[in-house]
Amino acid sequence: MKNYFFYTAIILFCLTNFSNVLFAQSTNEKYKALNDYLGTIIKDTTQILYVAKEKINSNETLNIFGLNEILIVDSQGNWKSDTRLYKKKDFEKMKKEYKNRCLPGNRIWCNEDFWSKDNFINKKVVLESMNTNKGIELIIEKYNKFDIKVYGFSEPIYYQNKKHIVFTMHTSHMAGATTLIIIMQKVKGKWIVTHIGSNPNIIN
């Protein structure tokens, strides 16, 4: 009987560790995709990168994806409408897995889900709160700089059995704000942008 409990404990321990390893690998892969994307829009990894410390609510990602206002990039770098990526069955599966993952804060932001500097390969990441009534205005006042651009990101999520990674990117600056979903696929070991999506009626 003692041997039974001993081996049961060993099996449970191994299963738990294996599950933790898989989770860590999945998380690392998602953050690799996010950093691969950042590398396409910010070439100099030593420049100061202002990032909202709060993650964007993944409900925002799901809401925008569900509109099916999706563009695909062709071989010439041109964007055109693509309604084929959205599959109701796949979308509902993604929605079931990732909906309501964080406590909602102001507007699109999570209340208790934060980024850390270690999540980014950029060497000079400055994390600032956007989950306030004034948003970027407070950051501009703090640094006394009017050309600041703050990037916000949701937790990347998987679509179509991990074929695609999807996340929301929000850019905020003095002139206004833009919110898009970024859809990526892994090609030859690197995550590349294949689609983007938007909500023309979003209130940032």
Report yes or no: 151 and 145 within 8 Å, Cβ to Cβ.
Answer: no
**pTM reported for the whole predicted model:** 0.85
Give the pLDDT confidence of 47-68 residue by residue, as tens digits.
Answer: 999 999 999 999 999 999 999 9
- Evaluate if residue 19 carries a pLDDT over 50: no
5-18: average pLDDT: 49
Alpha helix (H) residue ranges in 42-168 = 58-67, 88-98, 136-143
Out of 22-36, 108-122, 174-188, pick the least confident: 22-36
Q: What is the mean pLDDT of the chain?
A: 88
Quote the tokens at residue 125. 């990441």
Amino acid 195 reads: H
